[in-house]
């Protein structure tokens, strides 16, 4: 895609996706951070089923840390990798209390110092909670970017860097969620709904070629 096509691509998506935001349910930065850690290799739907009771029992980093790994497990055991995630969340909350005064840090270095927080999770929190113009490349965004020709790359980092370079400034803040929602509901991995796609005319995907 050239510059004008990328502008049109995002402008069209933004006109059809009225509220580009996460589908994870949260009330503050802390709850978002925990929900994103839980969402690794899990669906937002499955995470949203367990977090209300978890956050009711432990609405702050202090109380979550007090629950500890074994106390967290009963709330999240329907989610894949729940033991690892319980360990990460307990350690993460302990660090939030001891190193950051119980607050979620708003910079990449400190976020990535937390247990269970890698680049993608940090990007989600920075973008969704703090409005930073970052793009967390998950499987949906990786697929959409490569399939459409918006940003091509063989690695997640390569695609992220291309997207940050190629996305028009006006859409950088919302690009993450625009692309995720488009990938989740229209540009699906199997049987993409090309006949319903609002950016089909700008897309380089050939329906006859399997991706």
The string of pLDDT tens digits covering residues 17-52 is 988 999 999 999 999 999 999 999 999 999 999 999
Domain boundaries, the chain: 3-19+134-202, 29-128
Per the CB < 8 A criterion, the answer to whether 20 and 75 are in contact is: no
| Catalytically annotated residue among 44, 138, 200, 201 | 138
120 is catalytic: yes
The answer on pLDDT for 210 being more than 90 is: no
Catalytic residue among 3, 94, 110, 120: 120
The rounded distance, in Å, linking the Cα atoms of 150 and 49 is 34
Q: Do 144 and 182 form a contact (C-beta atoms < 8 A)?
A: yes
Class of domain 3-19+134-202: mainly alpha
Provide CATH code, domain 29-128.
1.10.340.30
Q: What is the pLDDT of residues 108-142, one digit of tens each?
A: 999 999 999 999 999 999 999 999 999 999 999 99
Report how far Cα 116 is from the mean position of its chain's Cα atoms: 14
Confidence band for 63, pLDDT divided at 50, 70 and 90 = very high
Q: Indicate if 138 belongs to the active site.
A: yes
Q: What percent of the chain has pLDDT over 70?
A: 98
Inter-residue contact 83 to 73 (CB < 8 Å):
yes
């Amino acid at each position: 895609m050239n510059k004008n096509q990328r502008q049109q691509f995002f402008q069209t998506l933004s006109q059809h996706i009225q509220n580009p935001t996460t589908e994870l349910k949260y009330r503050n930065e802390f709850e978002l951070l925990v929900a994103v850690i839980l969402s690794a290799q899990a669906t937002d739907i499955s995470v949203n089923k367990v977090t209300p009771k978890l956050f009711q029992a432990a609405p702050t980093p202090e109380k979550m840390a007090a629950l500890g790994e074994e106390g967290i497990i009963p709330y999240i055991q329907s989610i894949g990798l729940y033991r690892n995630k319980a360990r990460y969340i307990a350690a993460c909350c302990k660090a939030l209390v001891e190193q950051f005064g119980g607050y979620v840090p708003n910079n990449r270095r400190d976020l990535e110092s937390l247990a269970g927080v890698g680049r993608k999770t940090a990007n989600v929190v920075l973008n969704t909670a703090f409005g930073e113009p970052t793009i967390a490349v998950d499987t949906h965004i990786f697929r959409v970017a490569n399939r459409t020709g918006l940003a091509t790359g063989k690695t997640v980092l390569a695609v992220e860097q291309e997207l940050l370079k190629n996305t028009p400034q006006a859409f950088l803040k919302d690009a993450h969620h625009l692309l995720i929602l488009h990938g989740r509901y229209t540009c699906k991995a199997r049987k993409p709904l090309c006949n319903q796609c609002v950016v089909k005319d700008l897309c380089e995907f050939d329906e006859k070629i399997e991706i």
